[in-house]
Amino acid sequence: MTETVLITLRLPQPLADAAQAAATAQNVSRSNLLRIALEQFLGVMSGTSEADRRRQFSAEYLFLVADLIVQRQYPDAHSALITEAERRMEALCAAS
């Protein structure tokens, strides 16, 4: 089993009550509920949540499909579109 560390945490009463109600509804301890919630929050913050990975995969797939269609159906426009995409990325990165 993974070593655990005790962390004391103060919560507003309504939040503590909501956590207890959710833990009871899920049939888990409050500690386990908060552990799961923190893991999910940290995953979202780091961009590695399941939903983020699904969105990244879907976006990449759509980009690949569009690129393949352009390469096959509009080969003369492909280079110009790539050049324009690079120009826009440079402008976007410079603006941030």
Residues 6+ apart with CB under 8 A from 71: 78
Mean pLDDT of 51-61: 88
The predicted structure's pLDDT at residue 26: 94
The predicted structure's pLDDT at residue 1: 57
The predicted structure's pLDDT at residue 86: 93
Contact in structure between 19 and 34 (CB atoms under 8 Å): yes
CB atoms within 10 A of CB 35: 13
The pLDDT tens digits for 41-52 are 888 788 777 888
The pLDDT tens digits for 67-86 are 999 999 999 999 999 999 99
Q: Quick check: 38 pLDDT over 90?
A: yes
Burial 4-29 (b: 16+ CB within 10 A, else e): eeeeeeeeeeeeeeebeeebeeeeee
In Å, how far are 33, 40, 81 from 50, measured between CA atoms? 18, 9, 31
In terms of Cα–Cα distance, which of 38, 47, 45 is closest to 19?
38
Q: Quick check: 18 pLDDT over 90?
A: yes
Torsion sign, CA atoms 4, 5, 8, 11 = negative
The predicted structure's pLDDT at residue 12: 94
